Amino acid sequence: MRDVAIVATGMTPFGELWHSSLRDLFVEAAREVLDAVDHPLLDSIYVGNMSGGQFVGQEHLGPLMADHLGVAGVPATRVESACASGGAALRAGFFEVASGASDLVLVAGVEKMNDGADVTGVLATAADQEAEVYHGITFPGLYAMIARAHMEKHGTTEGDLATISVKNHRHGALNPKAQFRQEVSLEQVMTSSMVSEPLRLLHCSPVSDGAAAVLLCPLDRAREFTDKPVKIRGGGFATAPMALADRVDPSALDAVSLAAARAYRASGLGPSDIHVAEVHDCFAIAELCVLEALCFAQPGSAAELTRAGETTLGGRLPVNTSGGLKAKGHPVGATGVAQVIEIVEQLRGEAGARQVANAVIGLTQNMGGSGASSVVHIFERV
Amino acid sequence: MRDVAIVATGMTPFGELWHSSLRDLFVEAAREVLDAVDHPLLDSIYVGNMSGGQFVGQEHLGPLMADHLGVAGVPATRVESACASGGAALRAGFFEVASGASDLVLVAGVEKMNDGADVTGVLATAADQEAEVYHGITFPGLYAMIARAHMEKHGTTEGDLATISVKNHRHGALNPKAQFRQEVSLEQVMTSSMVSEPLRLLHCSPVSDGAAAVLLCPLDRAREFTDKPVKIRGGGFATAPMALADRVDPSALDAVSLAAARAYRASGLGPSDIHVAEVHDCFAIAELCVLEALCFAQPGSAAELTRAGETTLGGRLPVNTSGGLKAKGHPVGATGVAQVIEIVEQLRGEAGARQVANAVIGLTQNMGGSGASSVVHIFERV
């Protein structure tokens, strides 16, 4: 396999972008990438998107986006793994470059959620229709059950969950592209509306529009395009049973553990080598479970790590410096690629007020559904 | 890049399969593959599917299918390119094996269309929502316009279109897995209900349920699994403007021409080297346009080729020996993989009454929407 690098990034702000359509969002992010590298001929495009069909009545996003970017002809494939669609798209683009078949591959994630669709209903199609959704549950309920299981097993408290939200809003306040750029207090989180007990409004990521894009090329060509390439050091992808009821321990995210183990093996690195991480905090409980599954903390001890400030900017391992899904926003198909962009900016030393000092190795963890799919990538400044 | 082979296949019958759900169909086809090779550990799965979300309320098909196949944990990615989803999934799986990252990759296509959804409306989400669908057109109308353009430019007649349907039903009658196993006469086609002038009911592929799966591995490991591996000699993928109105000549399918040129170059072969082909006859006019775009016939001369019997079983280049989308059926996400299975069976000499004598090289052409995306693969008996 050839080594693969990221040489350019582009991203829309995340938020309620009522003036931009699905295709507008893609083109805005993709054009920023192409402008940064003087518009080379692309060999291929991957579009991460969860549900253009249900959100805005548009499937077949590969050719649509190639067309509207002005490069009709270029192969363009949509990849979907629910909220892990962006990470799965990166993985597919990585293989195309690593194989030697292509040199310049654009990987973009995009979602347009604010356009009139029943968002909670559409998102629920990422859970098991027969075992779960048919009976009336949606994602806040599924993650609430994960939270209850974690509380039961590890003594996790509502205050622990709130700490995650406070931290990620603190980071998001520093991110010009974040949907929410204000800090929230522990009290604000703890008294916000109950959504699905024990999850309150400020434990939940928002409904967002947005797009994010990166350009991949073989590492040995990277310096044609940038002085600061970031190498994809390794990746891992894994699945787990779709339905929570089929999991041995709903508080443990097995797909994340397995994807992480694969990414650590592929990169030759371990959790202690990571300087900065973006993880999938679709609900506050998810960040706790994920930190444990990534082996950043022992099972049941991620809350302690968070309370001690170790995952805050300035801590030992800053997590979700972008604001995470909670504050940056969560246009589901775009999230996996936006996580990568935050890490690329950190490793390039371009994260401004959010900069982690001396970050050389970074990790992204993207997740679909209630954790039935997860993609982990590890990146290195070279 | 490593050479990649297909070592096993599995496929449900195509048709109105009211007793099988989306997941049932996938598992039936995938299990047939695994049974044929004594259930090795899979490294990865790709699921080609156009719109589980809109047809049956189920996205996130990667982990769902891995789970229901009994292999939760294995990476599993859904790939979508409308009716070319199967071909696009094969391409993604090919890169993963060719790169050296994985050895055993299952590629499956699946669609459940008969489950109560507004099928024509769902399919229309593969066309350009803003430029086409919003104004009321659906695919029979789009292909009718392609047919009119072809008639205007090349003098193609309604009889020419009917000849395609007659041929493909003749082939389908020999295929135990085809949705329609009866021949139709020229008169039956020419007097069937008008759907969208000049396209009649018997010019249109049906609404179908079904799944098809193949197992990929590095060519140098292929004989661990089969005595009759089929090598993926080369592939090509291309896009074209989504909206018909943006194409210079709507009767010419540029994405097909470009995908074919890429596949011919990748394989080192040309149109005259092909012994048998499966092409995307979603409407009868499509087969004529595609034969020309693949350079099997000069522009405007595919009808003559068909009338002369050259593309019928026993002719110089049999096309759609499976019955094609018209007679075999067209569960949209499964079609691209089912085409590959027909070619694999032909190259292995296992096509029974449909066998093309001495077939060594075969081609598949899969297409999305009104031709905005197309995938071409060339296969070789080794």
Instruction: Tell me, yes or no, if A254 comes closer than 8 A to chain B by beta carbon.
Output: yes
- The answer to whether residues A244 and A132 touch, using CB atoms and an 8 Å cutoff, is yes
Upstream peptide bond of B198 is cis (omega within 30 degrees of 0): yes
Active site residues of A: 83, 330
Residue of B nearest to A49 (CA): B80
Interface of A with B in 11-40 (CB under 8 A): 21, 23
Mean predicted confidence (pLDDT) in B277-294: 98
What span, in angstroms and rounded, lies between the C-alpha atoms of A33 and A280?
24
Say whether A372 and B122 touch across the interface (CB within 8 A): no
User: What's the pLDDT at A165?
Assistant: 98
- At A277-299, the pLDDT tens digits run 999 999 999 999 999 999 999 99
Instruction: Tell me, yes or no, if B138 comes closer than 8 A to chain A by beta carbon.
Output: no
User: What's the pLDDT at B339?
Assistant: 98
Confidence of residue A226 (pLDDT cuts 50, 70, 90): very high
Q: Average per-residue pLDDT in chain B?
A: 98
- DSSP letter at A381 equals E
Say whether A79 and B81 touch across the interface (CB within 8 A): no
* CB-CB neighbors (< 8 A) of A80 in chain B: 59-62, 77-80
Tell me the shortest Cα–Cα distance from A18 to chain B, in angstroms. Answer: 16
Mean predicted confidence (pLDDT) in A319-331: 98
What span, in angstroms and rounded, lies between the C-alpha atoms of B115 and A363?
42
Tell me the shortest Cα–Cα distance from A197 to chain B, in angstroms. Answer: 26
User: What's the pLDDT at A146?
Assistant: 98
Instruction: Tell me, yes or no, if A353 comes closer than 8 A to chain B by beta carbon.
Output: no
B121-198+230-381 matches B4-118+208-224 in CATH topology = yes
Upstream peptide bond of A241 is cis (omega within 30 degrees of 0): no
Instruction: Tell me, yes or no, if A133 comes closer than 8 A to chain B by beta carbon.
Output: yes
Within a 13 Å sphere around the CA of B109, how many CA atoms are in the beta-carbon half? 32
Please state, for a pLDDT cut of 70, what percent of chain B lies above it. Answer: 100
- At B169-215, the pLDDT tens digits run 999 999 999 999 999 999 999 999 999 999 999 999 999 999 999 99
Mean predicted confidence (pLDDT) in B215-234: 98
Distance from the Cα of residue A69 to its chain's centroid: 24
Confidence of residue B274 (pLDDT cuts 50, 70, 90): very high
Retrieve residue B8's tokens.
């096993």
Q: What is the ipTM of this complex?
A: 0.97
User: What's the pLDDT at A61?
Assistant: 98
Q: What is the CATH number of domain B121-198+230-381?
A: 3.40.47.10
Query: Is it true that domain A128-205+231-381 has CATH number 3.20.20.80?
Result: no
- Measured N-to-C along each axis, helices A22-36 and A61-69 cross at an angle, to the nearest 10 degrees, of 50
Retrieve residue A209's tokens.
């529009």
Distance from the Cα of residue A352 to its chain's centroid: 20
Active site residues of B: 83, 330
State how far the alpha carbon of A191 is from the alpha carbons of A200, A201, A323, in Å: 8, 9, 21
Domain segments of chain A as ranges: 4-118+208-224, 128-205+231-381
Mean predicted confidence (pLDDT) in A84-108: 98
Q: What is the CATH number of domain A4-118+208-224?
A: 3.40.47.10
Mean predicted confidence (pLDDT) in A203-209: 98
Q: Average per-residue pLDDT in chain A?
A: 98
- DSSP letter at A130 equals T
Cβ-based neighbour number of residue B288 at 10 Å: 29
Say whether B126 and A60 touch across the interface (CB within 8 A): yes
Cβ-based neighbour number of residue A235 at 10 Å: 25
- At B28-70, the pLDDT tens digits run 999 999 999 999 999 999 999 999 999 999 999 999 999 999 9
Supply angle C-alpha B170, B18, A372, rounded to 5.
115
- Chain B interface mutation, best of A2, A65, A80, A254, highest count of B Cβ atoms under 10 Å: A80
Retrieve residue B305's tokens.
């080729």
User: What's the pLDDT at A231?
Assistant: 98
- Chain A interface mutation, best of B23, B50, B64, highest count of A Cβ atoms under 10 Å: B64
User: What's the pLDDT at B132?
Assistant: 97
Confidence of residue A45 (pLDDT cuts 50, 70, 90): very high
Mean predicted confidence (pLDDT) in A324-328: 98
Interface of A with B in 93-132 (CB under 8 A): 95-96, 98-101, 122, 125-130
- DSSP letter at A38 equals T
Per DSSP, the three-state class of B23 is helix
State how far the alpha carbon of B205 is from the alpha carbons of A194, B75, B224, in Å: 50, 33, 38
**Buried residues in B68-96 as b, exposed as e (16+ CB within 10 A):** bbebbbbbbbbbbbbbbbbbbbbbbbbbb
The kind and range of the H/E element at A32 are helix A22-36
What span, in angstroms and rounded, lies between the C-alpha atoms of A115 and A305?
39
- At A161-199, the pLDDT tens digits run 999 999 999 999 999 999 999 999 999 999 999 999 999
Say whether B78 and A81 touch across the interface (CB within 8 A): yes
User: What's the pLDDT at B205?
Assistant: 98
- Chain B interface mutation, best of A54, A242, A247, A267, highest count of B Cβ atoms under 10 Å: A242
Confidence of residue A329 (pLDDT cuts 50, 70, 90): very high
The kind and range of the H/E element at A328 are helix A324-328
The alpha carbon dihedral of A266, A271, A276, A282 has a sign of positive
User: What's the pLDDT at A371?
Assistant: 98
Tell me the shortest Cα–Cα distance from B218 to chain A, in angstroms. Answer: 13
* CB-CB neighbors (< 8 A) of A21 in chain B: 130
